[in-house]
Structure 1
């Protein structure tokens, strides 16, 4: 059994472009290229005592470790994407040998070529929309009848509390419906400027770092010449109690629809 594996970051066309020099990847390992059949995979040689199947499974439970690895992975992908159309590979993809990576490039050659053609000259932008759930809905529920009912509620504080609670829940539900409808319109308007779009699951507040509702977590593949137009379209959609957050441009992580089977993605135990 070998004591090292090959960590893969991204695949691009082998067009003779200058490659990133002195680029450090996961665990500080140097990044180098493997070429085969007109494609190039950007990789690092990593120790299996850290990146073998079992150590990696344990390490993936450590969020700090995962975050550090993800930043290193992203740094390599972005360095490549600044130079050539790039197909990012899923985080923590490790092979037993460089020969297995060449086999991947051979078996998935046509798929990689198609994906790289689709993302060529395009970048990914991310948009998140947040809404304060405590704000009043724009059309509040009708007020309770006045007169004797109000006096009765004063005499029955428990009933008054329940009615206030029900009104609060109705307002929150209405707020949610309005916010999601607004998010759908925002997504449709931004998708009209993009070549392709994807909706991701809203992040938990622990990940987003914000207490507001995340009602939109969208990714948009935009022609490089239309980046300013996309940002202007987003600015025109701001307001109406929705906070819009723009990130990017990034390598097209959300638009690489290649799913390797498990044998492709795991280090072989008897390599």
Structure 2
């Protein structure tokens, strides 16, 4: 299958191949177009212009890269995302996986666009008029931990029992307390993510939750939003942010390419 963001195809190269020192980096696929926004960054040394390689009703966003220079710096990743997200602000875009490189512009057409023309056109039609926004939440000033202590009698009892004990005493109780708190945090995150999804459901077409890792992280949810409903969606985020003021700090990121909503292949 084609090299989407979720899969690397055989045509992807990661370095100098067979004496060839230049390749063509592929950012994503859009409906056929003749021009791109100005001042797009590019992966690699940043000096190459992002251009279009077109076939039928499709255009690929591409730029030349030096294969001798390994890709993968933070600047490369940011350039890849900025190209896609800049296009996503005005058009439907299928993001390719970071690091997707083919040998030549002709290979973009012959190995990517032509063989998968029907699939790409179906995906673009399915995602037409939709754009991704991501909402991240962080608990403010340990609000979730205070809630957990007040809501869980067993945690209250164990917490009181181990307070004042020497560090080498009450090992079993401390272990049990840690397990109870960790489990309660997981449940609270799940409930809060469900509240977020429910609150934004009327102004979004789909959602996708991600696991969070930070101690104070509350949620990380991607939403697929109709462009005509963006203002309503943003207002819903603001409303929930006011409701959760002092408890959860919400951060809205977007518009983005629909990274989390590509059809399974």
Class of the TM-score when normalised by the shorter of the 2 chains = 0.7 to 0.9
Partner of 1:8: 26
1:162 Cα offset (Å) = 5.6
User: Aligned pair 1:242/2:248, yes or no?
Assistant: yes
Q: How many residues align?
A: 233
Partner of 1:177: 187
TM-score, normalised via structure 2 length: 0.74
CA RMSD, 1 decimal: 3.1
TM-score, normalised via structure 1 length: 0.73
Partner of 1:135: 146
Partner of 2:263: 257
1:30 to 49, 52, 64: 49
User: Aligned pair 1:70/2:100, yes or no?
Assistant: no
Partner of 2:228: 225
Q: Is the 8 A contact 1:129 1:183 kept in 2?
A: no
Give the Cα separation in 1 of the matches to 2:262 and 2:165. Answer: 64
2:113 to 92, 95, 105: 105
Give the Cα separation in 2 of the matches to 1:176 and 1:85. Answer: 35
Give the match's secondary structure for 2:36. Answer: coil
Distance 1:94 1:168, change over 3 A: closer
Give the match's secondary structure for 2:146. Answer: coil
Give the Cα separation in 2 of the matches to 1:19 and 1:154. Answer: 65
Distance 1:129 1:248, change over 3 A: same
If asked which structure has higher relative contact order (CA below 8 Å, sep 6+), I would say 1
Give the match's secondary structure for 1:187. Answer: helix
Give the Cα separation in 2 of the matches to 1:128 and 1:71. Answer: 19
Partner of 1:117: 125
Q: Deviations over 1:66-92 (max 9, x none)?
A: x11011112222333344322121111
1:195 Cα offset (Å) = 1.3
Distance 1:170 1:78, change over 3 A: closer
1:49 Cα offset (Å) = 0.6
Give the match's secondary structure for 1:107. Answer: coil
- Determine which structure has more spread, i.e. the larger CA radius of gyration: 1
Q: Is the 8 A contact 1:134 1:172 kept in 2?
A: no
Structure 1 residue runs of 5 or longer lacking an equivalent are 51-55, 145-149, 206-210, 260-271
Give the match's secondary structure for 1:237. Answer: helix
1:191 to 180, 198, 201: 201
31-40 or 183-192: bigger deviation: 183-192
Give the match's secondary structure for 2:152. Answer: coil
Distance 1:172 1:4, change over 3 A: closer
1:166 Cα offset (Å) = 4.1
Give the Cα separation in 2 of the matches to 1:215 and 1:234. Answer: 15
